[in-house]
Amino acid sequence: MIKSIQLNFTKIKYAGNSVGRDIRVEVEAFGKFFRVDKRIKAGETKSIDQEILRLETVQDVLQSDLAINVIEKDLLFSDTGSLKSSIKIDVVSEKSQILRFNVEVMESRSLLSKLFWGGRKAIFELEFEAIIGDVERYIPDTKDGWFLTLNNKDGNTSLPEYLKLILRYKKGGREYFMLTEGVNMGELWSVTLKNDGSSYLISDVQHGPMAQATYSISRKILTLNGINYKAADDPKNPWDKGVYDIEIPDYPHGGGLRYSEAKKGTVWFRIGHDDSRYLHPGLVSAGCISIAETERWMEIYSILIKARKGDNRSVGVLKVID
């Protein structure tokens, strides 16, 4: 199973004698180099909370050589202490692991100071935290809003853009993942890797807050983010006034192909969780709320597709008023 490991430099504790206040810590591990400067007095403990590196691995244990240098910066006589060790992270057992390393720094100003005050030694306790987590990814954006994948039962299904998922493993040129939201939540799916071995799935997606739309039955107007859109409903299958969830899109609705100006017109948003009533581009309605200004569909789509209510099912709410 693929896991993400985030290694943070969390704390520095300054014990022993004082060798100065301006401390630099340099860390090299897992092929990465990190440096932080901190002003700290002897006897103090200060939090750092800086990310050193982030890795993804399928291994149960992650191990690397570790090199730490602690330097008390001085114009003339900088004092340095070093540690060569190894770092070992158990990826399977715990979600958070604390790792501590001590580095001694001897003051080396001059022979006189050594003679009169003896050798002064500071001990720096450096604390790191390894956070183990799932690897989150998202369905990428596509021309028509759908991304075709296979499920673990050998069927194929299209998934909507920006759907959140957790990577599980890679095998045979495919990536396997579990959906964490939408109608197919909890199922295992797979997608091929690109020819160069990279992934189609994306990571730089920020879901927005839930969308709040209003539909006026009497005016036949949908309002989203203060902007009005002409719509149609079916008077013989009227909407009850109230608040409905707007669902994350479920599957491609082929009727939208006839509205090529809508661009992603096959992506419909179900209103409520029970009936087949959707928000979609269309000139007439047999029970849905059809956005008659079909060429403006992308304005609505772009807001809804990245919005999330927080229930893993919905992008927002629709308030139906008179």
Partner 1 sequence: MSGKFFSKAIAVIFGIIIAISFLAFTLCWNKEEEVSQVVKQLSQPVIKWQKITIEEEPKKFLISLRIPEVAIYTNDSLSEKINGDVAGYIGALKDIFIRGVKTAADDNGEASTLNIDTEILLMSPRLISLAFTSSDHFSGSKAGDPKRTYLIFDLEKGEMMREGNELFRDDLAWAEAIRIMKPLLLSKYDGEPSCDLMFAPKQEALSASCIGVDYSNEDKGPFSIFGDIPISAIQEFVAPWALKEIFQPGES
Residues that bind partner 1 (CB under 8 A): 142-144, 146-151, 153-158, 172-174, 183-184, 187, 191-192, 200, 232, 234-237, 250-251, 253-255, 257-260, 276, 282-287
For residue 280, the SS3 value is strand
DSSP 218: T
- Work out how close the CB of 217 gets to partner 1 at its nearest, in angstroms, rounded to a whole number: 16
Compute the distance between CA of residue 169 and CA of residue 152 in angstroms, rounded to an integer.
13
Nearer to partner 1, 131 or 193 (CB): 193
- Work out how close the CB of 29 gets to partner 1 at its nearest, in angstroms, rounded to a whole number: 36
Nearer to partner 1, 228 or 237 (CB): 237
Compute the distance between CA of residue 208 and CA of residue 180 in angstroms, rounded to an integer.
16
147 is written with which tokens?
């991304």
- How far is CA 6 from each of CA 100, 171, 219, 321, rounded to the nearest angstrom? 16, 24, 53, 48
Nearer to partner 1, 28 or 144 (CB): 144
- Work out how close the CB of 159 gets to partner 1 at its nearest, in angstroms, rounded to a whole number: 10
- Work out how close the CB of 142 gets to partner 1 at its nearest, in angstroms, rounded to a whole number: 7
- Work out how close the CB of 200 gets to partner 1 at its nearest, in angstroms, rounded to a whole number: 6
Nearer to partner 1, 37 or 141 (CB): 141
- Of 156, 149, 153, nearest to 175 (Cα)? 149
Nearer to partner 1, 41 or 258 (CB): 258
- Work out how close the CB of 248 gets to partner 1 at its nearest, in angstroms, rounded to a whole number: 14
Assign 3-class secondary structure to 32-99.
Answer: EEEEEEEECCCCCEEEEEEEEEEEEECCCEEEEEEEEEEEECCCCCCEEEEEEEEEEEECCCCCEEEE
Nearer to partner 1, 79 or 250 (CB): 250
* Cross-strand bridge partners of residue 160: 146
